[in-house]
Structure 1
Amino acid sequence: MSRFAAVRFSHFLPSLLLLLGGVFLARLAVLSEFFASLFNVLPTLLLLLGGAFCLVYGRQREVFLLLTLYLGYFLLDTQVDHFRATGQVRTDAALIFHLCSLLLPLLYSLYAAWQERTHLLQDMVARAAVLLAFGAVTVGLAQRFPEALLHWLSRVRWPALQADWLALVQLAYPVFVLGLIVLLVQYLRAPRPLHAAQLLGLGGLLWMLPNTFTLPNALNVMSSQIMLMLVAALAHEAYQMAFRDELTGLPGRRALNERLQRLGRIYVIAMADVDHFKKFNDTHGHDVGDQVLRLVASQLRKIGGGGKAYRYGGEEFTLVFPGKTLEECLPHLEQVRQAIEHYRLQLRDQQQRPQDDKQGRQRRAGKAASQVAVTISMGVAERGAEQASPDEVIKAADQALYSAKSAGRNCIRSHGQRRGAVKLSPGTRQ
């Protein structure tokens, strides 16, 4: 299966809506008194509340992302307030703006790509040391050599790339481009809502900085929206951890329990179990066992007929068909059973595993690779007089699953079926 199979537009959707909403509000000439007051205090509230939320759950990376954004907002807001009040910029405005244009995307990209892999306290100390080092060096240079530093930042190094619409110093754009590439690669390697929010957040900074002084509300609105994107992405991931199975990507047991509470009067529930999974897992190892579960989950996710698959636990899965009858669901269940039966999982000899990828590609189609068939058994039941509640329907489907196992596995059996289950296309069994 492709490594990009986990990429989801839903990872980007909440952050994209917040970003577009921020651009729309920032472009308004005048905000209402309510929104103006809200966006004046929202960055501070998000730093305090979002930072506390991150610290409680040990998310140091997001703490320093929020802190970096807030420091940039605070420095620029001081300059913007003076400009609004007097109509003139302060003497140090150009230097501070250019430094923020360079350091803000640099530190943002650094913290966004800095994975949390060490002890909580050690990781936090290291991140704080980096921030303090950058801050101390920058403040020291700005105080001692302000004119030389300003000249170095604002110098045109690539005249061919200079244009009126490029409002930032030239050094800032390579930092933005490099940061966008790094964060894009990070998302593609590990598709997560937070990685998507970080990527869009850097794009938001690229839009915000050139408009800091030209649009009166750009700084407050976009700083708030980017910080809100990160906090919302954390909440999104917390929801996924609670309601979605990490191994298979399917909704988990808690999501199933909530769905069962909202079923109508007509529905069908099927229980599916991987045949001989324990023996298979013990023979080939737990890593291959995980591949089997992901394979089965990927096929069950494609179930038609309005059904939805859930990870029930272990090697068991549940399929729910709201508003369907048993006769309507059986063809779709049989179709997915056959798809799993006909799929061949490639295994390589672990004792002769090649030392590099080139040798692996050469052996992949040879004797070092073996094919293993995976099959599942299913039990299915529908709501009726004997089983009126979802728990009773699941129990009936479970009983039908045991009957399918007794009938030889790799088949489907419905609750109350008296005859042995018939396999429409018998295949090899594990």
Structure 2
Amino acid sequence: MAHPVAVPQALEIAVLRLAAVRFSHFLLPLLLLLGGVLMAQLAVLNEFFLSLFNVLPTLLLLLGGTFCVVYKRQRELSLLVVVYLAYFLLDTQTDHFRQHGKVREDAALVFHLCSLLLPLLYGLFAAWRERSHLLQDLVARAAVLLAVGGVAVALAQRFPQALQGWLAEVHWPLLHGQWMSLVQLAYPLFALAVLLLLVQYLRQPRPLHAAALCGLFGLLWMLPKTFSQPHALQVMSSLVMLMLVAAVAHEAYQMAFRDELTGLPGRRALNDRLERLGRTYVLAMADVDHFKAFNDTHGHDVGDQVLKLVASQLRKIGGGGKAYRYGGEEFTLVFPGKSLEDCRPHLEAVRQAVQGYSLQLRDTRSRPQDDKQGRQRRRAASASSVSVTISIGVAEREARHRGAAEVIREADKALYGAKRAGRNCVMAHGQNRRGALKEAAVEG
């Protein structure tokens, strides 16, 4: 049995958050970002893509905005609106430039304001967490957008020359570089927004947070090339909005098919997988021993920790198996194309892995308020710990079985047999108590 080690709670939380970081969160946004950079640099786009990117921002605002409202994603809706407003204002200027060969008189002021307000509003709305009341949150975001936009429009109309001069001024000469294509004030705002969104993702790794961060880099790349590259504005605006809409769809999929507590695929994903199994497969049902006692003795928070611990070990199952959250404290392991003999060693290995892990408990009610006292107490006494065990029932698909539902029922019967055999063991369907692969080592 592993020896308990006292680890500061803040460090444990940080480790769990880092463990939730996934490259898959960034994969699609980065592909869209790279594709946008490559496509925007083309001197000529064919007629199809030219027409597509001329209407795509508006379509994404309408369709994606509706999608966000349905799934109560007011944060992403506000980001779509901010990006679209910047696109609309700058597209009006670039259209005039292409048609007349010169920029409008207010082009510099509009461009500088967009360079300043876009990272400000984008970073603010991306880091602004949604409230439980959709209407209140939408009204608050709309009020902020109207207030900031109204002040900017009023100043631009009342003091256009003074405002343009102030925006274009180099406020910090030592920090100014020749590479800067935007007003100097825009770069601190972009840097602050990047830092804010990066911290947000590390605190809560989610596809939406990753998409918002990648989208910000796309906007930073796009703005200096608005007038120098003919398709940069339309292409990158479209793909940044597409990143956000795709992230909403990604999380909607996860809500339906992935268990939020454990991170494992959920019951719906399991049902979908069972429909696509071949003729040879093995199904196993795993159950946490004495789970109700954990909840009754230590509370539901500890019960959640137990489920996360078991899920983290089941996720590592070998032999081509995959773990699913079946419901409650039950999990399902699916081994496509395997026989019972192939799966037995891997099921026994994961049972031992769960048994050998020591779950540390802390009495939060007696936790000192002062950090110094807490450190002294942790040195004096280590945290209490409990051991978790699981029972596993396994069944193999045979010719007499009409479907996966029957195999699951037999695996469930084997699970009850493992419980009767003393728990903390693996039992195959048809075995008696003496045929359990591993007799219980401890009662609990």
The two structures have a TM-score, normalised by structure 1, of: 0.97
Deviation at 1:90, TM superposition (A): 1.1
Determine if contact 2:314/2:323 at 8 Å carries over to the other structure.
yes
Residue aligning to 2:174: 160
Partner of 2:210: 196
Which residue of 1 is the match for residue 290 of structure 2? 276
For 2:60, the equivalent position in structure 1 comes to: 46
By how many angstroms is 1:387 displaced? 2.6
Distance in 2, Cα, partners of 1:184 & 1:425: 49
| Residues 357/295 of structure 1: CA separation in 2 closer, same or farther (3 Å cut) | farther
Query: Which of 114, 129, 133 matches 1:115?
Result: 129
- Aligned counterpart, 2:108: 94
Give, in whole Å, the separation in 2 of the partners of 1:421 and 1:158.
78
* Overall identity of the aligned pairs, in %: 73
Question: Which of 406-415 and 352-361 deviates more?
Answer: 352-361
The 5 A counterparts of 1:207-218 are 207-218=221-232
The runs of 5 or more residues in structure 2 that have no matched partner are: 1-11
Deviation at 1:366, TM superposition (A): 4.5
Match status 1:29 vs 2:56? no
Change (3 A) 1:118 1:317: closer
AA matched with 1:84: R
Q: Deviations over 1:159-179 (max 9, x none)?
A: 333333210111100100110
5 Å matches for 1:1-80?
Answer: 2=15, 3-80=17-94
Q: How far did 1:425 drift?
A: 8.3
Q: Deviations over 1:11-33 (max 9, x none)?
A: 11111111111111111111110
CA RMSD of aligned residues (A): 1.5
Q: Distance in 1 between matches of 2:374 and 2:428?
A: 44
CA distance in 2 between counterparts of 1:299 and 1:40 reads 50
Q: How far apart are the structure 2 equivalents of 1:317 and 1:356?
A: 40
CA contact under 8 A between 2:422 and 2:443: conserved in structure 1?
Answer: no
TM-score, normalised by the number of residues in structure 2: 0.94
Aligned-pair distance for 1:39?
Answer: 0.4
Distance 1:215 1:134 in 2: 29
- Mean Cα displacement is larger for which, 415-424 or 212-221? 415-424
Distance (whole Å) between structure 2 residues aligned to residue 32 and residue 161 of structure 1: 42
Match of 1:383 among 368, 375, 397: 397
Question: CA–CA distance in 2 between the matches of 1:11 and 1:63?
Answer: 19
Q: Decide whether aligned partners of structure 1 residues 136 and 17 sit closer, same or farther in structure 2, where only a CA change above 3 A counts.
A: same
In 2, Cα distance between the equivalents of 1:366 and 1:11? Answer: 42
Distance 1:345 1:357, change over 3 A: farther
CA shift for structure 1 position 385: 2.7
Count of equivalent residues = 430
Contact 2:422 2:440 (C-alpha < 8 Å) held by counterparts: no
Q: Which runs of 5+ in 1 are unaligned?
A: none
Pick closer, same or farther for the CA change 1:264–1:47 going to 2, 3 Å.
Answer: same
Match status 1:125 vs 2:139 = yes
Partner Cα separation in structure 2 for residue 116 and residue 261 of structure 1: 37
- In 1, distance between residues paired with 2:101 and 2:178? 22
State the Cα distance separating 1:119 from its structure 2 match.
2.1
Are the counterparts in 2 of residues 348 and 364 from structure 1 also a CA contact under 8 Å?
Answer: no
- In the alignment, residue 144 of structure 1 is paired with which amino acid? R
**Counterpart position of 1:304:** 318
**CA drift at 1:141:** 0.7
Change (3 A) 1:348 1:366: farther
Residue 56 of structure 1, CA deviation: 2.2
1:369 CA displacement = 1.8
Query: Contact 1:341–1:427 at 8 Å: present in 2 too?
Result: no
